[in-house]
Structure 1
């Protein structure tokens, strides 16, 4: 079944058709009791034999398909209904004795197969043993049925074959369930990725837009030219954020450390903070460069929003990136809350990196550090 549309796939429809055929093809072996019923001289015996055989065939196919659908969907087969189905098939076979004579025992082959498919293994084994013992015992007690002892082999063969069919149906159901779970997890992961990227993009961009708009409002009466420059930056940032959102929705979003450092310099300056940033960026693998870029974006956004700091320092080494400030420091739950930090930790886990949140080594301010353990000295 397609996870997105809920529609059955062609393979599922083919398997359903195969299931019906697999159940029906075995009915060929009812030709012996069917021929016996046709040879009956008395009309009522003929009608009873043919009627019970037709009812038995229809019931067997329906029971098989019902059980197969449960197994394929990984649903448990109701035990009481399963027992009732096996007993019902047996009753139809016995009911036809006046019209089928000793050939009624051919139906035991189907009863044993149904038991293997429907019942727990221990119960099914009991039914198979009883079905295999019935022909020789009945042949000994009823002289006219002596030739039916060959049905023992058919009962054992059919039971063994049905065991394979049962296992196949069970595995097929488990496979489908696993495929649906994989599809569900893929959808959930994609939604989480989109939500994480949108938060990181819009949280940073809108923070800088708000700061620059506030700065432009303060500058407008005293320095209109600079206020106009800040408004132009607001427009540029808004367009850039819109483009980032479009790329994120299209799964093409990516960030670069050099670009984020340049954006951080502008955002910190607009917020009135002294920025200490590296002049150049070391050569990094693409995935690590992107991870460090997200760390800079999240760290600078938090500094501008929450820190109350006057200075922000960003250090970049091949094995780690660190964003620190001299503000009020982290709240008791800062390390565990916030969508931005959660998203950053998820990104870091993919590269076996670590995210450390807390105060600076001197006990002041706030520090966000992302390091790659395998690279550390």
Structure 2
């Protein structure tokens, strides 16, 4: 069963889910992003580089600081490469970026605004719960570093800015996740709709063509036997005319099935079953009316009758068929040679049709041979009677 889509962070599972991917994977463009990342990191690189080189002649410590600064900026350019990787890789990337950002803040004395590159990456790469832990922890550590360095009062505004921008991106990423989940849900709905439509057409064509072609075969065989045995040309011509009529009707039904405008009538199926069984020289005990069947059940029972009679004509070898109708049930019984029920497309299709209206269909072997097919749909529960209202004597003025 398909899982219900979640479009927000209102469930515990949503907080620990990986960011959903778009139709084509999603994420920044792997060719354009490195160029854009240079523009994004220049406001950080220029002042920090000046600050590091301002200590005088380059020393190994200064070179190490420069390597740290530029490694932090370069890692930001690899954001789209990590976007489609597994969770451990994305987690390690975000943790590493935040660690380098904190090291730059501590060792170089850079503004806490430097952390924004790491916090932004985490927002879009890891589950929301981990965003809270990683980014929240990084902001708290940056505040601790600033307190120890004695510059908290000077740079606390930048720290507030980083926190505010990170929160804004967090909610923006939640919106992006919701949109992508909605895209996935729409794709699943479209796939299910196509699958259901294919199943409907396949089921209807099976029911329609199976019955129509079987009846046509029986009547064509009857016409052949009449010509071979008795040479009764008028009767054979009449049977061929019925075959022609059935062929035209089947073609019309195929067109209606494809366009989903075809309707089945229980009374019409009884008439067709009577003619088909008579042509197959099977004694048919059929009801003459369907008035005792609830109107909303008649279409479904029409499908059941059609499929059951088709199976009798094809496989049963029966000499007699009996059909019974009730308010909410239908039974088709034959005296054929079947001793067991062999599930097939027809029974599976009937099961789906009955299940759609809350009903059931069952086929069982009779003790003396033959099959009994019974379909039943539960009656709707009666509405509760309206409470009685006791009449009160009208009051008047004394």
Q: How does 1:1-377 map to 2 (within 5 A)?
A: 60=76, 63=79, 67=83, 77-84=86-93, 87-88=96-97, 91=100, 102-119=109-126, 121-122=129-130, 125-138=133-146, 140-141=148-149, 147-221=154-228, 222=230, 223-282=232-291, 284=293, 286-328=295-337, 330-334=338-342, 337-360=343-366, 364-374=369-379
Gaps of 5+ in 2: 1-21, 59-64, 382-398
Gaps of 5+ in 1: 1-10, 71-75
Report the Cα distance in structure 2 between the residues aligned to 1:12 and 1:359, rounded to whole angstroms. 51
Report the Cα distance in structure 2 between the residues aligned to 1:84 and 1:309, rounded to whole angstroms. 74
1:16 offset after TM fit, Å?
8.5
Report the Cα distance in structure 1 between the residues aligned to 2:292 and 2:42, rounded to whole angstroms. 78
1:277-336 Cα deviation digits (max 9, x unpaired): 1122216555411111111101111111112111111122222121111222x44343xx
Q: TM-score, normalised by structure 2?
A: 0.71
1:90-126 Cα deviation digits (max 9, x unpaired): 658967999xx64443111332332343245357624
Distance change in 2, residues 1:41/1:58 (3 Å): closer
Are 2:329 and 2:376, in contact at CA under 8 Å, matched by a contact in 1? yes
Q: CA RMSD in A?
A: 4.2
Distance change in 2, residues 1:353/1:224 (3 Å): same
1:250 offset after TM fit, Å?
1.2
1:187 offset after TM fit, Å?
0.8
Distance change in 2, residues 1:84/1:234 (3 Å): same
Report the Cα distance in structure 2 between the residues aligned to 1:273 and 1:213, rounded to whole angstroms. 16
Are 1:255 and 1:294, in contact at CA under 8 Å, matched by a contact in 2? yes
Are 1:77 and 1:118, in contact at CA under 8 Å, matched by a contact in 2? no
Q: What SS class does the counterpart of residue 220 from structure 1 fall into?
A: helix
Report the Cα distance in structure 1 between the residues aligned to 2:287 and 2:364, rounded to whole angstroms. 22
Report the Cα distance in structure 2 between the residues aligned to 1:344 and 1:118, rounded to whole angstroms. 49
Report the Cα distance in structure 1 between the residues aligned to 2:102 and 2:274, rounded to whole angstroms. 87
Report the Cα distance in structure 1 between the residues aligned to 2:277 and 2:90, rounded to whole angstroms. 72
Q: TM-score, normalised by structure 1?
A: 0.74
1:353 offset after TM fit, Å?
1.4
Are 1:97 and 1:104, in contact at CA under 8 Å, matched by a contact in 2? no
Report the Cα distance in structure 1 between the residues aligned to 2:131 and 2:247, rounded to whole angstroms. 71
Report the Cα distance in structure 1 between the residues aligned to 2:224 and 2:243, rounded to whole angstroms. 12
Report the Cα distance in structure 2 between the residues aligned to 1:33 and 1:58, rounded to whole angstroms. 11
Are 1:268 and 1:274, in contact at CA under 8 Å, matched by a contact in 2? yes
Are 2:104 and 2:110, in contact at CA under 8 Å, matched by a contact in 1? no
Q: What SS class does the counterpart of residue 278 from structure 1 fall into?
A: coil
What is the number of residues matched between the two proteins? 344
Report the Cα distance in structure 2 between the residues aligned to 1:33 and 1:324, rounded to whole angstroms. 87
Report the Cα distance in structure 2 between the residues aligned to 1:31 and 1:339, rounded to whole angstroms. 69
